[in-house]
Structure 1
Amino acid sequence: MFPQRLSPAVLAVCAALMLSACSSGEETGDGTSVPVPADPVLTPVVGSVMFAPTPFAGSDGSDHLVYEVSLTNFMRTPVTITGVKTLDAGAQGTPVLTDLDQAGVAGRLKPTGVASVPPRPDVPEGYSEVLAPGQNGVLFLHLQFEGEAPKKLVHEISVRADGAPPEMRETTERIAEIEVNDAVVPVLGPPLIGEHYVAADACCDAVRHTRAILPLDGTPVVAQRYAVDWEQAGPDGKIFVGDAKDPASYRIHGDDVLAVADGIVVASRNDLPEQVPGEYPANLAIADADGNNLVLDIGDGFFVNYAHMQPGSVRFEPGDRVRRGDVIGKVGNTGNSVAPHLHVHVMNEPSFLMSQGVPSVTDLFTITGRVADTDAFDASEGTGVPLEMAPGVTVSTQEDRMILDQNIVTFRAG
């Protein structure tokens, strides 16, 4: 017997009944009640969380959850995501944790392929709240909270489809339920020692790392979800002084790179040449993207990747044991790098590409300032002008927190 085909009219009725209630149960012959499953709900947009988030403490004093929701438009007409609420599905009353309006969605939803609407000046390039027929998009979410983390999340998606039948033009769906990961976050030592280090493109809304999805081996992964590009300014606020095409002109170039924990080296590379700063190398193989790198297994399923080190500076090979604080290499400009810096990220697999990024915290650091924004950082890195600083930042020494985007920190030995 073949499945019955539903007419468009029936589908419209299904959409109209999205909020229908269901009875509490049916009584059996012996008087007991058997729960009746809820009727299925038609959801023109389907979605799921790509990787369960883990809560962590940030250097801003808040706790955070960072994750992605994959959304797909199953309609034959474009849809506009007009709002997204993140709800605490594990709490009584399902309270709202975040509430994005249409403009907020536009700045966080990246359709795969090409956006179907003209670009807007107020959102990142390639982002849009509109999904074309059959198109997938990734919604990048960032929750801030204080105290106990939610145990379970669910998402209320408001959808408008102007070209659909009247009954389906505006719908609200509850989709993408996920249990929050309660894993312990690794506590790490500093990767460098010194002053005026800038946490560039760091968590939690930096487009270049936190939203760097790669489709590898048939799976979308975000290995760099919590990555940091460490650069350094001098007391004058300049990232480099002298010839911008010479890696040695950059303040961080040649600094010692330190092991952030005891561990075993599972991969390393030492043979790639320095790149000329100022532009990304052309036709670089994906395997060479991290330049001269080292991957350290620190136990409990955590791996630390260090990238872009100087040729010949990486001191350890696979199988070697290192201790926290050991010098493992020197900051360079190898691989897919536009200026000398140290790229560091923690992941759940030994591959620096085919893994999921996981959060970590640094055991001790001092925040001495913060760059105004990514544009200010890019201007300094690209032209040599002093960093424009955010006003009102108080010097603070912190423990066991993640250093967030554009903070300037001091790392001490010991």
Structure 2
Amino acid sequence: MRTTARPALSLLAASALLVACTSGASTTAGSTALPSALASSTPAAGGSASAPSSASSSAPPSASSSAPDGTGSGPAAEVLTPVLGAVDDSPAPVTGTDGRVYLAYELYLTNATSTPVTIDSVAVRPAGSADGAPLQEFSGSDLLARSRVIGATPSAAAPTAMTLQGGQVGVVWLDPSVATPGDVPAALDHVVAAGFAQAPNPLVPAAVTETIARTAVSRVPAAVIASPLSGDRWLNGNGCCNAVTAHRGALNPINGRYHLAERFAIDWVQLNADDQIYRGDKTDLASYAYYGAPIHAVADGEVVAVSDSLPDQPPGADPPAGSLQVDQFGGNYVVERFTQNGQDYYAFYAHLKPGSGSAAVTVGQQISAGDQVGALGNSGNSDAPHLHFHVMDGPNPLASNGLPYVFDALTMVGRAASPAAIDAAAGSGAALPLATGGPTGPRTDQMPLWMDVVDLQAAQP
């Protein structure tokens, strides 16, 4: 099980276990005000246009807009912004097992000039606030680890900076956090510092700092669900937050736009009594004691999709290149629709054991939280038995927007010592060491975070 990866455009590249796995004021140093606002830019695949962003805009306020501080004291100046920014999906707050409230989303940056530009830093601030420390800030190697330049030419040498060629788009994965739900801002601004090797034209200086892509924060609460699994010492191998894990970085170009259905996806594997993922031959399914574990519905709802035609993959290696179609990446799966907070959510249970989903449920069936919907398997794009689980805003497992969720109850056992320790446990069968001094104990209404080891209990139907 690979845990982290450079953010990837490919559906396969992000996961060893599954699929892959409002206007803001802008300031440009030394710039010249324009007589009309610049149009906002939307992210593009390889330079071609994609669906317009509905969550944010890189355009400065128009002459009829209020001042950027929200006081309404006068029109905001229109300022040239050679680096455009957009957020496609409004971030929604979710409380993690560390007690912090996270806002996980992606910022698309476009170089609107024909001259290469290097993004030096990206900072997230509450909208209209210029004082105090930013909620999150990346520069240097940290920014490289959190970003991907779309259409970058492959090179033997690793990139040393986030550089966008003329018209090129880059993506930055962000997950600022605050201490309490009451600290969540109503909107976010993004302060981008960038530099050109030389000024592109008389209106654009070589160094620019822009405040762009003002983005409203969703007020919809995270879905509260039961666990899909029962048992002790379940490891979150590829989840959110604080790193671009395989699923967090899965940027899927489907139906003409990017989708991040896996934004909050988790790959669940269970440790045995010796804290091993498997014992014995890692190419034998019987070496994984949790193989075949019951998978349970996380809420009362309706089954809207069942796919159950694929065999288990041999564990220990990725499926051969070209051996799967897009709709087979999740292997055998079940999709359940449930309603909370006045909206529909869709739970995705993937990589099920052959025959287990169709034996448990049928499309159109009403199910209750805790009902069995399948058994844990290794079908589809998987190199070891696990449950891939995520919640999304539509029934398509890939062409949807990933939504946050919290488990109504869990018990923290600890956290894996490091990503390398998880890789060793998955690769060689080594015992997984836990970090010392980590959080432990019962939790309610929290989302398991990447590398958490938790005891889980499904609902009783």
Question: Scaled by the length of structure 2, what TM-score is found?
Answer: 0.79
Number of the residue aligned with 1:190: 227
Q: Percent identity?
A: 36
| Offset of residue 293 of structure 1 | 0.2
Number of the residue aligned with 1:350: 395
Within the alignment, does 1:303 sit opposite 2:346 as a pair?
Answer: yes
Question: What is the correspondence of 1:226-265 to structure 2 with a 5 Å cutoff?
Answer: 226-265=264-303
* RMSD of aligned alpha carbons: 2.4
Number of the residue aligned with 1:150: 185
Instruction: Provide the C-alpha distance between the structure 1 equivalents of 2:160 and 2:256, rounded to a whole number of angstroms.
Output: 23
Within the alignment, does 1:286 sit opposite 2:318 as a pair?
Answer: no
Number of the residue aligned with 1:402: 447
Instruction: Provide the C-alpha distance between the structure 1 equivalents of 2:222 and 2:329, rounded to a whole number of angstroms.
Output: 27
Number of the residue aligned with 1:329: 374
Number of the residue aligned with 2:438: 393
Bigger mean CA deviation after superposition, 110-119 or 66-75: 110-119
Number of the residue aligned with 2:384: 339
SS in 2 for 1:114: coil
SS in 2 for 1:287: helix
Letter in 2 for 1:292: N
Bigger mean CA deviation after superposition, 106-115 or 363-372: 106-115
Number of the residue aligned with 2:42: none
Of the two, which has the highest radius of gyration? 1
Contact kept, 8 Å, 1:15 with 1:42, in 2: the verdict is no
Do the aligned partners of residues 38 and 371 (structure 1) sit closer, same or farther apart at CA in structure 2, a change above 3 Å counting?
same
Do the aligned partners of residues 103 and 245 (structure 1) sit closer, same or farther apart at CA in structure 2, a change above 3 Å counting?
closer
Contact kept, 8 Å, 1:107 with 1:128, in 2: the verdict is no
Do the aligned partners of residues 236 and 143 (structure 1) sit closer, same or farther apart at CA in structure 2, a change above 3 Å counting?
same
Instruction: Provide the C-alpha distance between the structure 1 equivalents of 2:169 and 2:295, rounded to a whole number of angstroms.
Output: 40
Question: What is the correspondence of 1:342-381 to structure 2 with a 5 Å cutoff?
Answer: 342-381=387-426
Instruction: Provide the C-alpha distance between the structure 2 equivalents of 1:342 and 1:263, rounded to a whole number of angstroms.
Output: 20
Instruction: Provide the C-alpha distance between the structure 2 equivalents of 1:396 and 1:94, rounded to a whole number of angstroms.
Output: 34
Contact kept, 8 Å, 1:80 with 1:159, in 2: the verdict is yes
Instruction: Provide the C-alpha distance between the structure 1 equivalents of 2:401 and 2:161, rounded to a whole number of angstroms.
Output: 25
SS in 1 for 2:317: coil
Question: What is the correspondence of 1:209-224 to structure 2 with a 5 Å cutoff?
Answer: 209-224=247-262
| Offset of residue 16 of structure 1 | 2.6
Equivalent of residue 31 in structure 2, options 11, 17, 32: 17
| Offset of residue 288 of structure 1 | 0.3
SS in 1 for 2:103: strand
Instruction: Provide the C-alpha distance between the structure 2 equivalents of 1:172 and 1:18, rounded to a whole number of angstroms.
Output: 14
Instruction: Provide the C-alpha distance between the structure 1 equivalents of 2:33 and 2:273, rounded to a whole number of angstroms.
Output: 61
Number of the residue aligned with 2:83: 45
Number of the residue aligned with 1:57: 95
Number of the residue aligned with 1:103: 141
Bigger mean CA deviation after superposition, 227-236 or 246-255: 246-255
Contact kept, 8 Å, 2:92 with 2:404, in 1: the verdict is yes
Q: Deviations over 1:308-356 (max 9, x none)?
A: 0000111112101111001111100000001000000000011101100
SS in 2 for 1:304: strand
Letter in 1 for 2:188: L
Q: Deviations over 1:186-205 (max 9, x none)?
A: 11101111011001111112
Do the aligned partners of residues 103 and 19 (structure 1) sit closer, same or farther apart at CA in structure 2, a change above 3 Å counting?
farther
Contact kept, 8 Å, 1:90 with 1:151, in 2: the verdict is no
When the two structures are aligned, how many residues end up with a matched partner? 385
Instruction: Provide the C-alpha distance between the structure 2 equivalents of 1:18 and 1:105, rounded to a whole number of angstroms.
Output: 29
Instruction: Provide the C-alpha distance between the structure 2 equivalents of 1:224 and 1:49, rounded to a whole number of angstroms.
Output: 17
Within the alignment, does 1:274 sit opposite 2:332 as a pair?
Answer: no
Instruction: Provide the C-alpha distance between the structure 2 equivalents of 1:35 and 1:195, rounded to a whole number of angstroms.
Output: 58
Instruction: Provide the C-alpha distance between the structure 2 equivalents of 1:118 and 1:54, rounded to a whole number of angstroms.
Output: 38
Number of the residue aligned with 1:313: 356
Higher relative contact order (CA 8 A, sep 6+): 2
Instruction: Provide the C-alpha distance between the structure 1 equivalents of 2:411 and 2:73, rounded to a whole number of angstroms.
Output: 56
Instruction: Provide the C-alpha distance between the structure 1 equivalents of 2:364 and 2:316, rounded to a whole number of angstroms.
Output: 36
Within the alignment, does 1:133 sit opposite 2:166 as a pair?
Answer: yes
Instruction: Provide the C-alpha distance between the structure 2 equivalents of 1:386 and 1:223, rounded to a whole number of angstroms.
Output: 32
Question: Scaled by the length of structure 1, what TM-score is found?
Answer: 0.87
Instruction: Provide the C-alpha distance between the structure 2 equivalents of 1:263 and 1:194, rounded to a whole number of angstroms.
Output: 23
Provide structure 2 residue ranges, at least 5 long, that are not aligned to the other structure. Answer: 1-27, 35-62, 64-71
Bigger mean CA deviation after superposition, 56-65 or 73-82: 73-82
Contact kept, 8 Å, 2:111 with 2:117, in 1: the verdict is yes
| Offset of residue 144 of structure 1 | 1.3
Instruction: Provide the C-alpha distance between the structure 2 equivalents of 1:86 and 1:18, rounded to a whole number of angstroms.
Output: 25
Q: Deviations over 1:358-390 (max 9, x none)?
A: 000001000112112222212211211111321
Provide structure 1 residue ranges, at least 5 long, that are not aligned to the other structure. Answer: 1-13, 26-33, 121-125
Bigger mean CA deviation after superposition, 349-358 or 234-243: 234-243
| Offset of residue 117 of structure 1 | 7.3
| Offset of residue 130 of structure 1 | 1.4
Contact kept, 8 Å, 1:268 with 1:293, in 2: the verdict is yes
Equivalent of residue 178 in structure 1, options 200, 206, 215: 215
| Offset of residue 40 of structure 1 | 2.3
Number of the residue aligned with 1:10: none
Instruction: Provide the C-alpha distance between the structure 1 equivalents of 2:137 and 2:286, rounded to a whole number of angstroms.
Output: 47
Q: Deviations over 1:175-215 (max 9, x none)?
A: 11110001021111011110110011111124211111101
Bigger mean CA deviation after superposition, 269-278 or 389-398: 389-398
| Offset of residue 93 of structure 1 | 5.8
Do the aligned partners of residues 155 and 92 (structure 1) sit closer, same or farther apart at CA in structure 2, a change above 3 Å counting?
closer
